[in-house]
Structure 1
């Protein structure tokens, strides 16, 4: 396998083009759907659309063609806005899907390179190794200790060993390589693969809704039922007063339209999709947009050490030879050369692990004859055991055999015949190396006659040769990253396969808190659930971890109602990544299994991006909350100003008609979905504790302030209504004053609700150009309705004096700006609590 590039040339550029032209791309093409038509059909089913259509039909039936045409145009406009927002969200999600597509190694023109799996063609040579998904159906042409999990096709979870010398030499798309490495020739792609032929059934899978989506759906459904009940009541009252069936129905529809908060689900979809798109732009791929909802709630981040906290740029720092009982930093003596040679043989022939690359590099610099071209890997034991080790068996054409192993020092000691003194010396050397922050591996050699190899590598008896120590420096930005996360109220726990001394030393170098509180995998597994639940909250560093132990940590944290994020990159990290609320895989060094199990992928393996991801999650949740609170606050006065005059039999019972309500809906939609989505993050957001995932926008405690805002605005509207009636205003004049007051209140509400902590004077300095655009558009459009006779007549408005307009603006502002007093007390309370 060391001469892959020389042995295999793969397809040429011309052959690739020919194969793709003849057989197509490596994608499973499912039944084509007309996305636009589906969106239109879904929109038509919405209650608001049906109400608008009904109102428009009534206008035409009763001969009111002007209002009918306006409502028809409004339907087109509202539908266009809705379809545009959905298209934008869908486009963002499609961009994310493209980025999260798996990649595969292929040999083309004699060169091994990594390409998107969908670009593989029939005839390609693919290189598959432990931790990857098979990207197409293929035939093995060369392999080393190669095993595949085919449960996706067969349901059988046990790994199946395969090689080119048996009838069992086929591999299939979607199966997982559990050990070894193989070169395979592609024989089927896309729909022609075994998985592709059953792929149509994947269409039936429906993604489960998140708790927040369920809450939003439930809230909108309840409001729709309330709307239905009030709609019937208002229809009856109107019909009783006027005896006009269609006119009464139309006025009842006005109220029904004002009750349904159809902007909320649109806002949710828009915020989540565009939030995922923004994360993608900073180097974080969100595989499912619903993950964004959870990000802002993360309480605990469980991170591995190598490659996350450290650079994963291993250099050989020291070695210890048992024959000399010495720790050395140069390797020119015979014992050191022997130790490094054995360690190299214990590594993969084609190294991809950072430590193995360092060993191969160190070996290449030794002044020895390189015997690698004369030997072939004939048997392999993958990384296994608690703690783990791995063993390789090489043989040349003469039958000379080399059996070597490397792994955790304790694992090699357990499989070697050592005296008590030797064991004590080895452990002392290991501890000394570890306390310097080095990662330490034990190295041994064995002999074996015959081909009936032991089932487990631990059955060999090894001659313990010594230790090799690697230094992997901490990342430059990791200290500041941890400090920011601590300030955000997030616990950080290191979960690693390394030993406690090495991990604690590195942890102290980067300012990691409570670095002395450690727990190893065996101790953890021996604990009962009650003890473990307590210890996981107290422990900061978990060492000598293995898959089952990692899974128990995640479960125990979740049992403590923690929202857990977990980073990982290896095959064995898959279960824990899947179990965590937020699984985070590394984009560069992460295996495909880790990436598939995770919710997030850090493209550049940069852990500091988690700060931006969590901040983005908090910002999106905060802005969505503002949008929903705005929607609730502004809907309340619209509902009540339509209902109260009618229910109480006031002189002008029907102050607004459907055209007024739809105009307000057109204003409110962009405000909540465009302005608030584009709001910057508030400066105190990363100093707050994570919000409990159980929090909902729709509990009374959460929306009390919004209800109060809506009621106060209503009081303002009823005040100007009564002012107009008292001063003998006509119905059109009263309608105009009430409408301008509501528009003014809406503008001030938009501005004040940009923060429920900072004052309006602070938020006016926030960089959000859309605020000026939307508010200016609202003001100009409202001015047109007032001062252009054609529009004024259509909306049944009257000209107002400057004093009357000033009164409307004054009442509108007062009915909203009282919230600034509430914010002052809130800021004082927060500062006092600090």
Structure 2
């Protein structure tokens, strides 16, 4: 696509131009372009297609999957096991590396499908006028200046400036986030109008749900709104997750530490203790084998996978594995409004009659609720104006309310459906109305007239006319109002004041009116409804918040998570819904137009201070996410439309709607909500925090185990002792017992206070000062128990093989006891819940015991590991060494709790 094309058709100019100006600029007319001119412009502007972005080839994509610190750790383990000649272990680890790379390769391919999903939204065909003749052609052949004819059901093939419309409504939710189809016209609007207010435009990829229109193509391919979003999405690099960043840092530090300690040990052993270099090399290999956390990648994957399964049971489908834990680090959730925070079921909440304001109870399409005045339930039959207003709303209506399997559904316009539900609550059903008050004729709603009218006969045979529509239009048609004591002259000031007050509460407004009498002919004409009506009521309608979303937002606030509403809807509506959800209470809302005028520094400040953003475009949503991330926040972003895809991809966790979401949004996301419910996000955050807790617990379990083994080897080298653990025995402990035991911590249930904690700082290191202390303390305890037992046995004349067997078992038994300690980082485990609350811990220990018995007493194990049988007394000594670790770890927790340090360390 040429730069000239992009500059020539860049919005917002077209919606601000009149129809005549558009024709003049594009040098076109009612006969359309000639074929010769269309061919010339196709050369100039290119085809009406979205250009696919440049992508890495499959081989490079596969190679890049190995550029991952977790895989480096596993490859390090591969080298160590190969040096030791344990080829089975080498093969298993290599297989794990390859499988991880393949999974990453597949996931990257799926992520690129988001761009394909956007390109698939382009219409394949279009009806155009060329050379004065109407014809159908491939939409890819459209050029600026073409005249396109639209009818109900069409997908719009390019960005169009509308020239003529007839009752045109376009579903633009995918681009603007509007919950209802937009009524279109032909008038120009101001140049800075947000996308949702450009009523004279029709955009590529959206749908005509009703009516007909003719429009002039003003942008094709990459110059369309859809094309701009496609380019934004292609330019965004997916963010690394907090966990992967922490693991990357942790892995680098650990690798440097292992290399440094190993090199220092080798130098000291050869130069200071005069050990043979070959002997020292094998000792250093044993040291490295004891320090490398071979089980970390596997345990991390298992823990995340278990989180995926738990979330799936709660309607949260995870598409990228690391997103599970990232949810637990979220500090800000940016949520769409319609259907996520709200029910996506329009509901009548208020009838404003002359002298009375009635509140309507109940939410959604279920016809359950009462009518009240100031909290006092009233009988509708005692208020003639309310009763007639409800009747008018039900009769002047083309929607249908149905109950299927105990679920109420609306067929047709959601606003009309809300009036039917209100009628049911008052005891007036549509079926009864059709029977007792049959419709004789009607004038359907048209955007240029902004009302609907119907003609009915009542049970006595008298004729009635009912109208409903925009309040200002209905007011012009009325001369009277129905008071509690009968018909009175219209008080225009009262109705305008009430309309302003009701709209300020975020309610969409309709007015309903009636008059007794028949049309002048057998058909209802516009002349019959121009004047003489009696105003019955203003009706306030809103898409109410989900009850579970209200509690979920409250839970997020308790957890220290900010919730922000970013919607394409109008500001007052967003503010009112936000107030009911406790989002942005007492604060102003900010519109997309205001966001566009801010520089990055101002936007960072506003993004943190303001919680409700209205009339937001794709660029606005993307900038808001970036501003929050620049402030150090971990951001989850929800969305359902193509307009949300760039922000979803940029966010730390992109959350797409499963029910009403577009494929582009789903493919750009990390998680899909199967029920489109905000409460599911809060549940997923809880699971994410539990996953991170369990990973921390595993690391706190694993590092002391490896640290204890390393200290044993270092002590033996420095003090010229016989090696208490051979390299093969170290590998046995790490690969067979440590991973087996540590896996149980992946199944730990969430702790009770997990959603009462503040989010962890995004830049917090994986190992805090407290964690380092805990690792050193337990490492020293394990070394003390195993090395002390080893030296004791040698001192009393026990053979080297038996002493080593006891040292190995002392480390493993200490791990078994410390596994129970590790269930809670600070809380005691010396109670029933602590000892038996996780059955997988019991199963892991039960599985480890026969492995150690086989290691100790099986003949073939003796041949492989130089182990020997132990007596009951020797097993008793081994158990005592393990109990030393358990008792000391619980004592440390007790001291921390008693000294008041627990509160400060609970988030470490």
* Superposition TM-score, scaled by structure 1 size: 0.65
Q: Determine helix, strand or coil for the equivalent of 1:724.
A: helix
Residues of 2 paired with 1:787 and 1:830: CA distance? 45
Relative distance call for 1:239 and 1:724 in structure 2 (3 A) is: same
Residues of 1 paired with 2:61 and 2:579: CA distance? 57
Q: Is the 8 A contact 2:335 2:566 kept in 1?
A: yes
- 1:289 counterpart (309, 321, 330): 321
Matches within 5 A, 1:179-218: 179-181=206-208, 209-218=240-249
Matches within 5 A, 1:82-481: 82=96, 90=103, 134=120, 138-140=124-126, 177-181=204-208, 209-231=240-262, 247-315=279-347, 354-355=414-415, 367=439, 369=441, 425-426=495-496, 428-432=498-502, 435=505, 438-440=507-509, 469-481=540-552
Matches within 5 A, 1:623-772: 623-650=694-721, 652=722, 654-668=723-737, 670-671=739-740, 674-698=743-767, 700=769, 702-762=771-831, 764=834, 767-772=837-842
Q: Determine helix, strand or coil for the equivalent of 1:662.
A: helix
Per-residue CA distance 1:26-62 (angstroms, 9 max, x = gap): xx9x9799999x99x9899812212222222xxxxxx
Q: Which moved more, 1:518-527 or 1:811-820?
A: 518-527
Relative distance call for 1:266 and 1:161 in structure 2 (3 A) is: farther
Q: Determine helix, strand or coil for the equivalent of 1:440.
A: strand
* Deviation, structure 1 residue 759: 1.6
* Structure 1 position 800 matched with structure 2 position 875: no
Relative distance call for 1:759 and 1:245 in structure 2 (3 A) is: same
Per-residue CA distance 1:317-355 (angstroms, 9 max, x = gap): 668899xx999756779998999899xxxxxxx998744
Q: Is the 8 A contact 1:318 1:329 kept in 2?
A: no
* Deviation, structure 1 residue 789: 4.2
Q: Determine helix, strand or coil for the equivalent of 1:687.
A: coil
Q: Which moved more, 1:609-618 or 1:639-648?
A: 639-648
Q: Who is 2:82 aligned against?
A: 53
Per-residue CA distance 1:60-89 (angstroms, 9 max, x = gap): xxxxxxxxxxx3444456667x479859x9
Q: Determine helix, strand or coil for the equivalent of 2:551.
A: helix
* Superposition TM-score, scaled by structure 2 size: 0.60
* Deviation, structure 1 residue 738: 1.6
Q: Determine helix, strand or coil for the equivalent of 2:656.
A: strand
Residues of 2 paired with 1:533 and 1:51: CA distance? 48
Residues of 1 paired with 2:58 and 2:599: CA distance? 50
* Deviation, structure 1 residue 434: 5.3
Q: Who is 1:106 aligned against?
A: none
Residues of 1 paired with 2:752 and 2:145: CA distance? 51
Residues of 2 paired with 1:429 and 1:470: CA distance? 12
Q: Who is 1:620 aligned against?
A: 691
* Deviation, structure 1 residue 634: 1.0
Q: Is the 8 A contact 2:648 2:654 kept in 1?
A: yes
Q: Determine helix, strand or coil for the equivalent of 2:633.
A: coil
Unaligned 5+ segments in structure 2 are 1-54, 130-138, 160-173, 176-202, 211-232, 360-384, 400-409, 424-429, 452-467, 476-490, 513-534
* Deviation, structure 1 residue 797: 3.2
Residues of 1 paired with 2:322 and 2:58: CA distance? 25
Q: Determine helix, strand or coil for the equivalent of 2:743.
A: helix
* Structure 1 position 491 matched with structure 2 position 562: yes
Relative distance call for 1:72 and 1:586 in structure 2 (3 A) is: closer
Q: Who is 1:785 aligned against?
A: 855
Q: Which moved more, 1:547-556 or 1:474-483?
A: 547-556
Residues of 2 paired with 1:747 and 1:827: CA distance? 24
* Deviation, structure 1 residue 660: 0.2
Matches within 5 A, 1:480-629: 480-496=551-567, 512=582, 515-521=585-591, 525=595, 537-542=608-613, 550=621, 553-629=624-700
- 2:888 counterpart (790, 801, 818): 818
* Deviation, structure 1 residue 310: 2.6
* Deviation, structure 1 residue 801: 3.6
* Deviation, structure 1 residue 715: 2.7
* Deviation, structure 1 residue 703: 3.1
Q: How many residues are paired up? A: 673
Relative distance call for 1:725 and 1:482 in structure 2 (3 A) is: same
Relative distance call for 1:262 and 1:309 in structure 2 (3 A) is: same
Residues of 2 paired with 1:249 and 1:438: CA distance? 77
* Deviation, structure 1 residue 610: 1.4
Superposition CA RMSD, Å: 5.8
Q: Is the 8 A contact 1:163 1:169 kept in 2?
A: no
Q: Determine helix, strand or coil for the equivalent of 1:518.
A: coil
Q: Which moved more, 1:769-778 or 1:426-435?
A: 426-435
Q: Determine helix, strand or coil for the equivalent of 1:676.
A: helix
* Deviation, structure 1 residue 440: 3.5
Residues of 2 paired with 1:355 and 1:133: CA distance? 32
Q: Which moved more, 1:281-290 or 1:619-628?
A: 281-290
Q: Is the 8 A contact 1:51 1:257 kept in 2?
A: yes
* Deviation, structure 1 residue 509: 5.3
Relative distance call for 1:315 and 1:737 in structure 2 (3 A) is: closer
Q: Who is 2:879 aligned against?
A: 809
Residues of 2 paired with 1:530 and 1:90: CA distance? 39
Residues of 1 paired with 2:580 and 2:238: CA distance? 44
* Deviation, structure 1 residue 750: 1.6
Q: Determine helix, strand or coil for the equivalent of 2:586.
A: coil
Per-residue CA distance 1:695-732 (angstroms, 9 max, x = gap): 12145454332233222322333322332343333322
Q: Is the 8 A contact 2:804 2:867 kept in 1?
A: yes
Residues of 2 paired with 1:270 and 1:177: CA distance? 44
* Deviation, structure 1 residue 295: 0.9
- 1:774 counterpart (844, 867, 878): 844
